[in-house]
Amino acid sequence: MNIPADLKYTKKHEWARVEGDLVYVGITEYAQNSLGDIVFVELPSVGDIITSGEAFGVVESVKAASDIYSSLSGIVKEVNNELIDHPERINQNPYDSWMMAIEPSKASELEVLLDASAYEKLCLEEA
């Protein structure tokens, strides 16, 4: 399983990548493998206010629909609209298929996210 060391992770299988003032968010390889072939993605709008731990969108696969939870609180600054027309890109490479970019309002929330080692341990426990 691919777990990039430069990302942070949630216990609900989302990843976060800090780039300057923004944090890009998506779902992990573990999550997309569990879901199967992704056929639909619902994402927030630019300008939406997101709260850590709350759902910001939905991913639907041939198996199930699943809420996607935000790892941080803040304002949505960018949305990856390409995923609306091509949700299968998440299956092809979940770490390149970011869903939204947040301008975080509480930088301290990054500190409670899991590092790659802790996330790998979580995945092994759930497997």
27/13 Cα distance (integer angstroms): 6
pLDDT in tens, 80-115: 999 999 999 999 999 999 999 999 999 899 999 999
pLDDT band at 25 (very low <50, low <70, confident <90, very high): very high
Around Cβ 66, how many Cβ atoms within 10 Å? 19
pLDDT for residue 1: 82
**Looking at residue 15, what is its pLDDT?**
96
- Distance of alpha carbon 19 from alpha carbon 39, whole angstroms: 28
State pLDDT tens for residues 30-73.
999 999 999 999 999 999 999 998 999 999 999 889 999 998 99
Going along the chain from its start, the domains and CATH numbers come out as 8-106 (2.40.50.100)
Alpha-carbon gap, residue 25 to 16, rounded angstroms: 5
Does the pLDDT at position 11 exceed 90?
yes
Answering whether pTM is above 0.85, one says: yes
